[in-house]
Structure 1
Amino acid sequence: MTFYRTTRLMLSSAAILSFASSAFALDGNDLLKKINDVYGQQGGSIAAEGIDIDGSTVTLKGATVKAAGMDASIPLGDITMDGVEEKDGGYTIEEIDFADVDFDKDGAAVSATDLKLNGVEIPADTSKGDLGSLLYYKSAHAGAVSVTKDDAEVFSIEGADATMNKRGDKSGIDFDAKINGIKADLSKVDDPKAKEAIEALKLQQIDGTVAMKGSWEIGPGTIDVSEYSFDFKDIGKLNLAFSISGYTPAFAKSMQEALKTVRSNPNQQEAQQSAGLAMLGLLQQLTFNSAKIRFDDASITGRALDFAGKQQGVSGKQLADTLKAMTPIMMAQLNVPELQNAVSSAVNAYLDNPKSLTVTAAPGKPVPVPMIIGAAMGAPQSIPQVIGLKVSSND
């Protein structure tokens, strides 16, 4: 009797453990659906030939992605998600690893390695319009990327990294990203005119980085990009910075819906007209806070003047002098004397000694975007005053 009681107890325990295991097992199909709920807002979709689950690891076997406007899907191979947990109807994932990319078609090949995301959060509901309804990841990484044409490398990057930081009070996120070691080989360009320009400007080999840093405050929808820079050796550094308000999750969703309508309408001309009207309506919600464009020269200006001057039969200095003389005449058409003087002074100083050129728009208080559009259409000469436009050089 003891033997039978023990056996029944063991079988009962096994059944209970089996039931508990199945009850708490991850639902791979639901996870993929939640991912597509997010990605689908951009008009894309992800599919898989199969879904394997091993404890907290979910693998999408033979995954493919189809982006908005694409007729064919792109193979991604296997996508491995480690540390997956269901949370409040959504999911958290410790790390997502993508298979290395090795794509070759018509003599062009693309390869990419070490692609991963860390600290991923998949929302349960994408319609709430708060921080919890957005796809979030703490960091993203890509290793070496290479593009070759006819067995010769024409473009590559050493690697790329991006991070996001969710604020403790859930008011928004801070983000930054950087692409390192961007290299492009333009020496094999076939077009004679383009080749001549590339050689004159010494752009046969391009080497640089791209970086971005900013924040998004969800409530007022304020996007503040403090840096979006392109920094290339022996060329220069172009940095864009701007701040707008009104770009809330609800605004983003409305834009996505408008784009979906365009893509689904077989009459593209009609769709584009409808989308234009929709965008004008959405722009009513945006406010312009500030913007800044700055270029720090690293010798490209001198080469550009020499090349352009040669095309006109003059030296680079002579072309610079001509541009300095023409600037006040062109600016006079705007009928804004203060801006005319500032631009002329900045251009003169920059062409004499190219260091930096900066254009700043900083109104005394935020300006609704419709007011800017109205000024541009009705009184373009008022734009500098409306947005607080200033130009300076070598500062």
Structure 2
Amino acid sequence: MMFSRVSGFAAGLTAAVSLIALQTSPALAFDPTGNEIADAFLTLLDSEEGTVQSYGSVDASGNTVTISDLLITNEDDKDAKVTIVSTVLTGGELQSNGRLKLENLTLENLELAADDGGMSLDNISVSALVLPSAEEAKTNDSPVGPGYESFEATSIQIRDEDGKVADIQKISSSIDSMDGDLPTSGQFAITGATIDVKQIEADEAKSLTDLGYETLSVDVSGSGKWDPDAATINVPALNINAKDAASLTISFSLGGVTRDVVTQLNETSDNPEEAMALLQNITIANAKIRLDDESLTGRILDQEAQKAGVEVPVYVSGLTGGLPMMLGVLQNKELEAKVTEAVTEFLTTPGSLEIAASPAAPVPVAQIMGTAMFAPQMIPQILSVGITANQ
């Protein structure tokens, strides 16, 4: 909901996006504007927790409706409110099923305030947006498939009661292709997320400040493509890059992802047991995790060696010397040797560390789960796991 706690990054984003997906209440708190597109939009914003308290003006020009100075309050919390200087609805169309379709929605200068913090942003722009009907909103039944084509939010500030927690330059996402009501490809990016280390949880902050970080700047991006005819999903790269720390890249390809599986997963999203049962026949064709160091490993080794009262090379030698005994549980001498060699090289000269699963044939998730229960040491073999350093 709009007035949920804004104590962290995810909560702040949820609060922003929730502006376009609120539950409606039977009675409207605002005076109707006389414009059916504006009234339909305001009806969705007017909820039991959030109430459209007032708006400045409603202007229509061609297919564009502009609502100025929106004020949304919470009758249960006098300190909670949302203000939006300008709301622009372009190409609005009320559909026969009661949904509101917009070519574009733009919110400018949004401010969310609450007693435990808040959030502000310069602009949200959403294209090809489909909002639920009032009845669907009441029952929390959103339209089938993605409700937008592209989303972008800029200049976001998230804060708690003690001050600013994070700045984010831009958040963007897009649905690039569809198969009926189901998305088949898309991408997203979070650019320039700068976190104030002192403002996050005490234990986490202490660990980061001990490593020499006062702020942490992070970029996240990813893309994916689903081929419903081949029943495959390919994620070429999910990237998490923390400046002056490290970057993590994950990629994978899955099989057995049919239209029926995707539809049923959407329908069982609130039932983990049913969802897990559906995943049993999905196969893993390949997967890769790569870590590229940008100073984080060296900082950690320096810190731990100092605690142990030894030089870094001596500390690393102690760590790597115990690897063969630790890896004995794998019962795979060849893999033990590869892991020991790669980890030793990475810790001695931090560069990159990559773990790849490249089975000769796709492996069903059911087989992996069964192996994990009864013979976990066999998982690296059935997935043909390999590891390399500094390549």
Residue from 115, 124, 133 that aligns with 2:124: 115
Residue from 214, 237, 261 that aligns with 1:227: 237
User: Of Structure 1 and Structure 2, which has the larger fraction of its residues in helix?
Assistant: 1
Instruction: Indicate if the aligned counterparts of 1:291 and 1:362 stay in contact, CA closer than 8 A.
Output: yes
Alignment partner of 1:143 is 2:154: yes
Residue by residue, what CA displacement relative to the aligned partner does 1:193-249 show, whole Å, maximum 9, x if unpaired? 655532331121111211112212234543321121111111011111122234455
Aligned to 1:8: none
Give the distance between the partners of 1:172 and 1:234, measured in 2 at CA. Answer: 35
Give the distance between the partners of 1:256 and 1:66, measured in 2 at CA. Answer: 27
Aligned to 1:97: 106
Q: Give 2:207's aligned amino acid.
A: A
Which aligned pairs between 1:182-331 and structure 2 lie closer than 5 A?
Answer: 182-187=193-198, 191=202, 196-248=206-258, 250-260=260-270, 275-276=272-273, 278-331=274-327
For residue 114 of structure 1, report the CA deviation from its aligned partner.
Answer: 0.7
Change (3 A) 1:249 1:156: farther
Give the distance between the partners of 2:363 and 2:183, measured in 1 at CA. Answer: 22
Instruction: Indicate if the aligned counterparts of 1:292 and 1:358 stay in contact, CA closer than 8 A.
Output: yes
Identify unmatched segments of 5+ residues in structure 2.
Answer: 1-16, 50-75, 137-142
Instruction: Indicate if the aligned counterparts of 1:159 and 1:180 stay in contact, CA closer than 8 A.
Output: yes
Give the distance between the partners of 1:342 and 1:375, measured in 2 at CA. Answer: 22
Q: Give 2:255's aligned amino acid.
A: S
Change (3 A) 1:102 1:133: closer
Q: Give 2:128's aligned amino acid.
A: G
For residue 168 of structure 1, report the CA deviation from its aligned partner.
Answer: 9.1
Aligned to 2:346: 350
Change (3 A) 1:64 1:149: same
Q: Give 2:106's aligned amino acid.
A: D
Instruction: Indicate if the aligned counterparts of 1:244 and 1:286 stay in contact, CA closer than 8 A.
Output: yes
For residue 357 of structure 1, report the CA deviation from its aligned partner.
Answer: 0.5
Secondary structure of the corresponding residue to residue 202 of structure 1: coil
Q: Give 1:369's aligned amino acid.
A: V
Secondary structure of the corresponding residue to residue 364 of structure 1: coil
For residue 64 of structure 1, report the CA deviation from its aligned partner.
Answer: 5.5
Residue by residue, what CA displacement relative to the aligned partner does 1:80-131 show, whole Å, maximum 9, x if unpaired? 532124679676421023465423333422222311211235799x9xxxxx
Give the distance between the partners of 2:383 and 2:201, measured in 1 at CA. Answer: 44
Instruction: Indicate if the aligned counterparts of 1:183 and 1:207 stay in contact, CA closer than 8 A.
Output: yes
Which aligned pairs between 1:169-180 and structure 2 lie closer than 5 A?
Answer: 173-180=184-191
Change (3 A) 1:151 1:286: same
Aligned to 1:160: 171
Farther-moved stretch of structure 1 (92-101 vs 346-355): 92-101
For residue 142 of structure 1, report the CA deviation from its aligned partner.
Answer: 0.3
Give the distance between the partners of 1:181 and 1:189, measured in 2 at CA. Answer: 17
- Give the alignment's TM-score, normalised by structure 1: 0.71
Give the distance between the partners of 1:60 and 1:167, measured in 2 at CA. Answer: 26
Change (3 A) 1:362 1:171: farther
Residue by residue, what CA displacement relative to the aligned partner does 1:255-290 show, whole Å, maximum 9, x if unpaired? 454454x6xxxxxxxxxxxx43x3442222322122
Give the distance between the partners of 1:87 and 1:162, measured in 2 at CA. Answer: 25
Instruction: Indicate if the aligned counterparts of 1:122 and 1:135 stay in contact, CA closer than 8 A.
Output: no
- RMSD between aligned residues: 3.6
For residue 136 of structure 1, report the CA deviation from its aligned partner.
Answer: 4.8
Secondary structure of the corresponding residue to residue 60 of structure 1: helix
Residue from 14, 18, 24 that aligns with 1:47: 24
Change (3 A) 1:58 1:346: farther
Q: Give 2:209's aligned amino acid.
A: E
Give the distance between the partners of 1:87 and 1:216, measured in 2 at CA. Answer: 29
For residue 349 of structure 1, report the CA deviation from its aligned partner.
Answer: 1.1
Q: Give 2:89's aligned amino acid.
A: M
Alignment partner of 1:82 is 2:63: no
Q: Give 2:42's aligned amino acid.
A: K
- Give the alignment's TM-score, normalised by structure 2: 0.72
Identify unmatched segments of 5+ residues in structure 1.
Answer: 1-38, 127-131, 263-274
Secondary structure of the corresponding residue to residue 213 of structure 1: strand
Farther-moved stretch of structure 1 (96-105 vs 360-369): 96-105
Residue by residue, what CA displacement relative to the aligned partner does 1:156-215 show, whole Å, maximum 9, x if unpaired? 101112222116999963212111111011135684x65553233112111121111221
Instruction: Indicate if the aligned counterparts of 2:82 and 2:112 stay in contact, CA closer than 8 A.
Output: no
Give the distance between the partners of 2:114 and 2:120, measured in 1 at CA. Answer: 12
Q: Quick one: percent identity of the two aligned structures? A: 24
